[in-house]
Amino acid sequence: MAGSTTTAKTLFDFLPIDGVANEAALKDWISMMREDTTFFLLTVKAGTPRQAVGFFSLMRATPKAGSIETGWVTFSPALQRTRAATEAFYLLLRYTFNELGYRRHEWKCDAANLPSRRAAQRLGFSWEGLFRNAAVVKGLNRDTAWFAMTCEDWLTLEAKAFQPFLSAENFDSHGLQRVGLSALTAPLLHATDPLQDHQRAQLALGQQA
């Protein structure tokens, strides 16, 4: 995976595996994951020529309830914080809601994984709670932060956040965004992460001091 060698440890810190030593080991692990019918692993390609720069998985699908989850999100530095990364999530959400007809899309992460919690809210997933002692990962307790988006949420988020953000008019001649996705999704969230609320309050107090 392009650009992933130097940060392999941090990429896999919150996943229930210890990382991969080299490209061959990564390929072996991906092959193993693809044999697991409970996961639908998707590769993200970007750049010219196209290179694999990340992957994520659809999992815990319950068609009768109309619920599915995104997990195992692993983006290399070449993909992180890019327009392509946002577009990848947009295409995934559009696929699950518009094409597969799911009613609910979940995002769960280790409560200590602050970047994942911020990403969930930036993408329009609303906070639903903290599940204490939800799992043991690598011998350590894991509290799970839980976020979700419904099909009703998606109708609004697609029209008022993702499409405006990804439009050509939202990027200048240098490819820099004019309006961030968070600014568009924040007013549409049903509930916000209390940790982020606390951090914003602390920042505001610091600015007033």
Using DSSP, how many helices (H) and how many strands (E) does the chain show? 8, 6
As a whole number, mean pLDDT of residues 11-22 equals: 73
Identify the CATH number of the domain in which residue 111 sits: 3.40.630.30
What whole-number distance in Å separates Cα of residue 103 and Cα of residue 148? 10
Report if residue 208 sits inside a domain.
no
Give 16's pLDDT tier (boundaries 50, 70, 90): confident
Report if residue 205 sits inside a domain.
no
What's the mean pLDDT when you consider all of the chain? Answer: 89
What whole-number distance in Å separates Cα of residue 171 and Cα of residue 164? 10
CA-closest candidate to residue 128, choices 103, 109, 100: 109
CA-closest candidate to residue 150, choices 66, 206, 47: 66
Helix (H/G/I), strand (E/B), else coil: 188: helix
pLDDT score, position 1:
46
Report if residue 206 sits inside a domain.
no
Report if residue 90 sits inside a domain.
yes
E strands of 7-124, at which residues? 39-46, 51-62, 67-75, 104-110
Give 93's pLDDT tier (boundaries 50, 70, 90): very high
Does residue 5 register a pLDDT over 60?
Answer: no
What secondary structure letter does DSSP report for 171?
A: B
Paired sense of beta strands 104-110 and 67-75, if any: parallel
**How many structural domains compose the chain?**
1
What whole-number distance in Å separates Cα of residue 129 and Cα of residue 144? 8
What are 105-125's pLDDT values in tens digits? 999 999 999 999 999 999 999
- Is the peptide bond preceding residue 63 cis, with omega within 30 degrees of 0? no
CA-closest candidate to residue 165, choices 54, 108, 85: 85
Q: What range does the domain containing 49 cover?
A: 5-199
What are 121-176's pLDDT values in tens digits? 999 999 999 999 999 988 889 999 999 999 999 999 999 999 999 999 999 999 99
Give 191's pLDDT tier (boundaries 50, 70, 90): very high
